[in-house]
């Protein structure tokens, strides 16, 4: 028995029938395994002789669609096939006396699996494993690929389009590399290894000489974000398509409520924007832009019911998103309580506001003012402050878009001390620099405006890449928030009004490979770690995402280390009219991107389907993040109990702070005659002037007396006699 497929011409002419020999898997007691196990196979029956040799069951399937759209077909098979059927072995005893018809869903025509009621001896040699011959006829409309018929699920449709074999590639994970084939079925990786046995009709991709890696995870995007009087031009359709073209198969966007919105209302709005458009799976972070009891309740709802496990605070954008330190403390405390991850945009917003005013007074209105009003030290100071607050609340912290050396150093120092802190450099900080803010062309300079700004120190990118390589920084995103030139022009006369944001979702992987792997700073396993695996662990979607393993999602990228291109806005898939990496020569590119087991991008052609992506629930208390924290919390509680001191209760006098008095400090008053209430010196007849307001002796008053008496003569003096005073004794003959 040989499987075959029709040409496109044959497909259009095929108003014919086909027979398929179907052998179920060994796991007939498990419907999911039964219908997805690679042991299940379709075989084409070329003629009636073959059919009579192998079949013991006949299922007639009437189905709308072209032949090629349904099966691998051999033409010239008679329409009607009759053979002996042992009905009792196929059907339950309760239904063995009548014909059983099972409806198969169809968009344009009804179809049925018809089981006849004839009882004859079976010719099958396989005991206990039902075998079917499927007879089909096709009118003229499309239909899903493939039909799988089993004893337990006769209406289950398995598409050969949903089976994919990646053959001959080197499978790269963050912890190792192996030469292996990868078989994906129904969007899940089912087998990894060599010489795999897979169902007939499986699409095969030759990855010989290429790398097979987990699809990238972009931890930081802003699609369709209303911001600074306009909206970012990449929506969830164009944004996720661009991501796929660049090898990214999962994005994490931010829910940012407006002033009049609650967190839950903003979440619903983001889901409405995204669900119908996304071409790949996506998750959401939530931004906390104000603080009150209702926000705390909404955070709890989002974590427990909506699948969000990360909350971002802003230390910049004063008057818009920025929170004060005490509010940040409370947000971080709530995150710790919920098992969520705190995220921070670290800049000193108050000082930035003052520096922006200073730049304006000096007449600096162009994009260079954006950099000059946001010096590197303000990013470092805010980063350190956020890390300190996170330490006091015992909350894990994720610092987004680390843009400078000094801010990265603060993250590194905290990690060296054992604090659970993650730093996220972005494609822009790794592949571009702030020299562009001084470009003569206003449009060019304004296109690079983002916050925190790109640094004009050209060594910043390589330095951040070094920290990625040694583990001081953890994951990479893009802060993809794109605006066209006419939108950036809102700030043509005032840099403070230029919408902040740059591109990167399509270019991230190529930029990091070029700047990291091709320079020898990263190896291929570290590349996987910083582009997908670490992010999946931090946000608790590992190993569903971020790994090539049996049971993981079929999100893969086939990477050609030798492929080259020059980045250009003229050829990219992002919706913006400018690319900050314009002219960058990249070596190492994705040539095939597979999303949920389907080829979505191949050799420059996008075939991604709108709305095919799914929302990812990101659960709290990620083990990668909270395992150490939970143990430390137990130890901390024990230490606090050990440091607790048991004391006798205080029974002395307590100052009545509500009682009015002119003498603030009675401890400094000289002790007088208790009966007279006078100070001691006054009662001795010495000081005639009243005490000072603080209760002390008035220094203008004299303590001299002709009698030689002192005001403290009544106090007992020490009787110790000094026998050897300094200078020797005073007795003796002279």
pLDDT digits (tens, 9 = 90+) for 541-577: 999 999 999 999 999 999 999 999 999 999 999 999 9
Whole-number Å distance between alpha carbons of 637 and 633: 6
Q: Highest mean pLDDT: which of 50-59, 95-104, 154-163?
A: 154-163
> Taking 50 as the threshold, does the pLDDT of residue 583 lie above it?
yes
Least confident interval from 95-104, 242-251, 404-413 = 95-104
| Percent of the chain predicted with pLDDT > 90 | 65
584 backbone dihedrals φ, ψ, rounded to 5°? -75, 125
SS3 (DSSP) at 216: strand
**Better pLDDT: 36 or 183:** 183
Q: How large is the average pLDDT for residues 476-488?
A: 98
CB 51 within 8 A of CB 19: yes
* CA atoms within 13 Å, Cβ hemisphere of 473: 34
**Better pLDDT: 126 or 716:** 716
Bridge partners, residue 312, by sequence:
287, 343
Whole-number Å distance between alpha carbons of 506 and 242: 5
CB 183 within 8 A of CB 194: no
> Taking 70 as the threshold, does the pLDDT of residue 363 lie above it?
yes
Least confident interval from 90-94, 264-268, 626-630 = 90-94
pLDDT at site 224: 97
Least confident interval from 134-143, 225-234, 526-535, 677-686 = 134-143
pLDDT at site 589: 98
Least confident interval from 175-179, 180-184, 251-255, 700-704 = 700-704
Q: How large is the average pLDDT for residues 187-201?
A: 94
Over residues 404-442, the pLDDT tens digits come to 999 999 999 999 999 999 999 999 999 999 999 999 999
pLDDT at site 681: 52
Bridging pattern class, strands 281-287 and 248-255? parallel
**Better pLDDT: 339 or 670:** 339
Q: How large is the average pLDDT for residues 318-332?
A: 97
All domains in the chain, ordered by first residue:
8-158 (no CATH), 164-208 (2.30.40.10), 213-635 (3.20.20.140)
Class of residue 413 by CB neighbours under 10 A (exposed 0-12, middle 13-18, buried 19+): middle
Bridge partners, residue 114, by sequence:
60, 101
> Taking 70 as the threshold, does the pLDDT of residue 49 lie above it?
no
| Percent of the chain predicted with pLDDT > 70 | 70
The separation between CA 698 and the C-alpha centre of its own chain, rounded to angstroms, equals 71
> Taking 90 as the threshold, does the pLDDT of residue 591 lie above it?
yes
- Give the sheet arrangement for strand 170-173, strand by strand: 176-179, 170-173, 211-214, 556-566, 585-595, 598-602, 605-606
Q: How large is the average pLDDT for residues 344-353?
A: 98
Least confident interval from 353-362, 464-473, 643-652, 677-686 = 677-686
CB 498 within 8 A of CB 446: yes
Whole-number Å distance between alpha carbons of 676 and 236: 88
Would you say the pTM of this structure is higher than 0.85?
A: no
pLDDT at site 411: 98
Over residues 113-157, the pLDDT tens digits come to 333 333 334 333 333 333 333 333 333 333 333 333 332 233 334
pLDDT at site 679: 52
Whole-number Å distance between alpha carbons of 11 and 13: 5
Ordered DSSP codes for 379-434? HHHHHHHHHHHHHHHT--EEE----SHHHHHHHHHHHHTT--EEE--BHHHHH--G
Query: CA separation (Å) from 512 to 447, 504, 557, 674?
Result: 21, 11, 15, 84
Round the average pLDDT of the chain to a whole number and report it.
80
Whole-number Å distance between alpha carbons of 455 and 461: 9
């Amino acid at each position: 028995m040989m499987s075959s497929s029709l040409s496109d011409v044959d497909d259009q002419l095929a108003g014919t029938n086909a027979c398929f020999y179907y052998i179920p898997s060994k796991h007939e007691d498990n419907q999911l395994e039964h219908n997805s196990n690679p042991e299940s196979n379709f075989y084409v029956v070329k003629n009636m002789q073959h059919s009579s040799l192998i079949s013991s069951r006949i299922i007639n399937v009437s189905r709308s669609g072209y032949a090629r759209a349904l099966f691998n077909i051999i033409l010239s098979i008679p329409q009607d096939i009759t053979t002996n059927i042992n009905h009792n072995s196929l059907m339950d005893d309760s239904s063995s006396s009548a014909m059983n018809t099972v409806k198969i869903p169809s968009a344009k025509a009804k179809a049925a699996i018809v089981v006849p009621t004839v009882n004859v001896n079976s010719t099958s040699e396989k005991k206990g494993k039902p075998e079917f011959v499927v007879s089909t006829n096709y009118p003229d409309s499309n239909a899903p690929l493939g039909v799988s018929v089993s004893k337990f699920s006769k209406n289950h449709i398995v598409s050969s389009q949903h089976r994919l074999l990646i053959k001959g590639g080197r499978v790269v994970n963050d912890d190792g590399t192996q030469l292996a084939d990868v078989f994906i079925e129904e969007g899940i990786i089912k087998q990894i290894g060599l010489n795999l046995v897979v169902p007939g009709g499986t699409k095969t991709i030759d990855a010989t000489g290429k790398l097979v890696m987990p699809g990238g995870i972009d931890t930081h995007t802003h699609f369709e974000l209303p911001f600074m009087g306009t909206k970012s031009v990449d929506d969830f359709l164009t944004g996720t398509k661009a991501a796929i073209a660049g090898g990214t198969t999962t994005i994490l966007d931010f829910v940012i409520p407006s002033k009049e919105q609650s967190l839950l209302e903003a979440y619903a709005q983001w889901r409405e924007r995204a669900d119908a458009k996304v071409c790949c799976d996506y998750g959401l972070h939530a931004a906390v832009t104000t603080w009150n009891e209702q926000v705390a309740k909404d955070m709890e709802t989002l974590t427990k019911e909506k699948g969000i496990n990360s909350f971002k605070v802003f230390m910049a954008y004063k008057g818009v998103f920025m929170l004060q330190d005490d509010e940040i403390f409370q947000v971080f405390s709530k995150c710790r309580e919920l098992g969520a991850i705190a995220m921070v945009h670290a800049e000193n917003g108050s000082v930035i506001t003052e520096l922006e005013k200073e730049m304006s007074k000096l007449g600096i209105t162009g994009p260079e003012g954006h950099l000059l009003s946001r010096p590197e030290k303000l990013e470092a100071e805010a980063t350190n402050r956020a890390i300190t607050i996170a330490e006091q609340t015992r909350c894990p912290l994720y610092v987004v878009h680390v843009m400078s050396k000094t801010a990265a150093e603060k993250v590194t120092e905290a990690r060296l001390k054992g604090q659970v802190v993650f730093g996220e450099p972005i494609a822009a900080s790794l592949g571009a620099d702030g020299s562009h803010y001084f470009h003569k062309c206003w449009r060019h300079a304004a296109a690079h405006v983002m916050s925190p700004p790109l640094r004009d120190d050209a060594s910043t990118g390589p330095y951040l890449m070094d920290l990625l390589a040694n583990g001081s920084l953890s994951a990479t995103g893009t802060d993809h928030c794109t605006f066209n030139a006419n939108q950036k022009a809102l700030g043509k006369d005032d840099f403070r009004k230029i919408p902040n944001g740059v591109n990167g979702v399509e270019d991230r992987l190529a930029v990091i490979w070029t700047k990291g792997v091709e320079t020898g700073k990263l190896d291929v396993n570290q590349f996987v770690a910083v582009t997908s695996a670490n992010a999946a662990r931090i946000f608790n979607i590992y190993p569903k995402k971020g790994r090539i393993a049996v049971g993981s999602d079929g999100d893969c990228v086939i990477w050609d280390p030798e492929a080259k291109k020059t980045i250009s806005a003229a050829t990219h898939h992002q919706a913006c009219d400018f690319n900050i990496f314009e002219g960058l020569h990249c070596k190492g590119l994705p040539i095939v991107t597979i999303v949920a087991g389907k080829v979505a991008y191949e050799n420059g052609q996008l075939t991604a389907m709108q709305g095919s992506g799914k929302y990812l629930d990101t659960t709290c208390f990620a083990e990668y993040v909270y395992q150490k924290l939970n143990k430390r919390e137990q130890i901390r509680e024990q230490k606090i109990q050990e440091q607790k001191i048991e004391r006798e209760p205080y029974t002395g006098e307590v100052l009545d702070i509500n009682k009015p008095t002119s003498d603030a400090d009675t401890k400094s008053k000289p002790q007088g005659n208790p009966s007279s209430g006078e100070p001691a010196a006054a009662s001795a007849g010495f000081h005639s002037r009243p005490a000072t307001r603080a209760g002390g002796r008035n220094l203008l008053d004299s303590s001299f007396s002709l009698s030689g008496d002192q005001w403290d003569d009544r106090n007992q003096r020490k009787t110790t006699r000094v026998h050897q005073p300094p200078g020797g004794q005073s007795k003796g003959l002279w």
